[in-house]
Structure 1
Amino acid sequence: MKISILYSSKTGKTERVAKLIEEGVKRSGNIEVKTMNLDAVDKKFLQESEGIIFGTPTYYANISWEMKKWIDESSEFNLEGKLGAAFSTANSIAGGSDIALLTILNHLMVKGMLVYSGGVAFGKPKTHLGYVHINEIQENEDENARIFGERIANKVKQIF
């Protein structure tokens, strides 16, 4: 099984969180994972992935223009039936990350993906729509990112 983690990052914050999520996926075991910036996507690996996690910085309560452009131009990939999840980074808790996550999830559903947030049933971190990493809060945030990755990997194994 394979999981791709796709992200856009200008300052390195979203890239850092993507790598933490990758660590969590690896903790689940028996899943090959690759973390890729949108400008360097391994097309073969992505197409073979059962799960894809999308990550974006939050800009004015929205996704990055790079993520929007990639989604708009990704018609060469058949994403139907794959498990999709999303995470975002923001500078403050009121930065609009929930709207950015909903934007990604809407696009994933249009592409026929199954979407999974990681849920609240497992306790903390509670991920209603996906994982949000608030840059001004550091306590437990790194571990929360790993837990999110592990939850997505476990769901991929459960479904596929």
Structure 2
Amino acid sequence: MAKVLIAYASRTGKTETIANYIAEGVRFTGNEVEVKKISDIKDGAELAGYDGYIFGSPTYHRNMTGGMQQFLFKAENAGLAGKLAGAFGSYTHSGDAPGIIMDTMTHVFKMKPAELGSMNLLEDQVNTPDGIKAGQDYGRTVAGEL
């Protein structure tokens, strides 16, 4: 059984909700998952011991949150090379954050990107049946690659 960390930033609760849907999908595969706010992770050492990582942030002003940027600096030296990477987020306009996070995980951290790439949901779709299914399917599919 593999273990996945879902670490997220959320300002309105939408990205946190997606994180929990993704976690359900990971659990559907029989794998373990921990869901944590990035503010609860104090240093890169707390990232050890997982087989896959899924990081999430909403998009604000065509970028991830400042907190997620700081978190990624912590994660940079955590020895994540070769680990499975996924990214997700919510948005109202551009939706750039998940792609930027995935690029960082892939090119800076040298992680293995999930075949699906990153996942993005419009904020008004998060609490709909389609939004729930999208999150669960993403978690199931990414965890299936472990």
**2:45 and 2:78 in contact (8 A); partners too:** no
Taking only the aligned residue pairs, the percentage that are identical comes to 28
Q: Which amino acid aligns with 1:133?
A: L
- Aligned residue for 1:101, secondary structure, equals helix
Distance 2:137 2:98 in 1: 18
Structure-2 residue corresponding to 1:103: 100
Question: TM-score under structure 2 normalisation?
Answer: 0.88
Number of positions where the alignment pairs a residue of Structure 1 with one of Structure 2: 141
Shift >4 Å, 4+ stretches: 42-45
Give the 5 Å matches for 1:69-88.
69-88=70-89
1:112-160 deviation digits (Å, cap 9, x = unpaired):
1011142xxxxxxxxxx4111212233411111101000011011xxxx
- Aligned residue for 2:22, secondary structure, equals helix
Distance 1:55 1:75 in 2: 16
Structure-1 residue corresponding to 2:112: 114
Give, in angstroms, the shift of residue 60 of structure 1: 1.5
- Aligned residue for 2:87, secondary structure, equals strand
Q: CA RMSD in A?
A: 1.7
Segments of structure 1 that go 5 or more residues without pairing to the other structure are: 119-128
Distance 2:63 2:115 in 1: 18
Distance 1:50 1:104 in 2: 18
1:68-101 deviation digits (Å, cap 9, x = unpaired):
111123244111110001001012xxx221x322
**1:56 and 1:88 in contact (8 A); partners too:** yes
- Aligned residue for 1:48, secondary structure, equals coil
**1:117 and 1:131 in contact (8 A); partners too:** no
